[in-house]
Amino acid sequence: MLAQILVGTVFILILAKVLYDTRRHRRNAPSPPAIDPGVVEISHACRNWRPPAELASAPPRPARVQAKTLAELIFFGLIFGSIFYFMCDLSLSIAGPARNVVALSPAVVIGLLMFVVTRSSLRLLARGQVTCGVLTHVFAPLAGVPLEGKYGRARSAGAVVYFAFLDQDRNVLHARGNLPAGAEPGQAVTVVYDPSHPKRNTLYPLDGFEVRL
């Protein structure tokens, strides 16, 4: 009983810290990019861009989750699933088999959410349209300001970026994602998007996933 209470308390504190940091990040984050490239600017920035070799082939591509990421998903899934189970088991007044079913429900929901997110990323990499985009703004997570000057270089691989790209109808679309290694504002980057729903997009390479040649 005491162990369950301690585990539940630690979990609640961790969750509260994550929610606090997320809220602070949103409150302090800079406004959307002041750089607003049009068709001509994006085309000019992408004049020397070439798609990665693994994305050059026609869909479907052999996308997969990296082994390390898969192991982390399984590990954290088991950890959080166990925590939810203990918390629910501690608070439920239901007796019998129904108690286990209800206590396991949050863990099942977490597993399903992880599966849906992973499947969505794999599907996008396997069947998405590949194009060139331009970084328009880079800032550090939770810092609230760019790292060096108004559009300075990001030192953190986990920095958040805004980028713009052209869809198949030559419309300019803006999106937000994680910083590719070594990228800077104004630099051409690889974007993978769903032609039927261009708002479903991601920068490539996508952390935790890969496309095999």
Query: CB neighbours (10 Å) of residue 57?
Result: 13
| Residue 112 sits in the same domain as residue 182 | no
- Residue 120 tokens read as 């969505």
| Residue 88 sits in the same domain as residue 190 | no
**Of the residues 77, 106, 123, which one is the last residue of a structural domain?**
123
| Residue 185 sits in the same domain as residue 173 | yes
112-146 burial, b at 16+ Cβ within 10 Å, e below that, comes to eeeeeebeebbebbbebbbbbbbbbbbbbbeeeeb
**Backbone angles phi and psi of 182, in degrees to 5:** 80, 5
Question: For residues 31 and 174, which has the higher predicted lDDT (pLDDT)?
Answer: 174
Strand-pair category, 129-139 with 63-65: unpaired
Residue 142's pLDDT is 43
Residue 113's pLDDT is 78
Give the 3-state secondary structure percentages of the chain, helix then strand then coil, rounded to 5: 45, 20, 35
Span of 13-27, 118-132, 147-161 with lowest mean pLDDT: 147-161
Residue 41's pLDDT is 86
| Residue 137 sits in the same domain as residue 45 | yes
Asked if residue 115 belongs to a domain, the reply is yes
What would the pLDDT profile of 46-103 be if each residue is shown by its tens digit? 999 999 999 988 889 999 988 888 888 778 777 776 776 676 666 555 556 666 666 6
pTM of this prediction exceeds 0.75: no
The domain tally of the chain equals 2
Q: Domain containing 137: what range?
A: 37-59+128-206
| Residue 104 sits in the same domain as residue 174 | no
Asked if residue 30 belongs to a domain, the reply is no
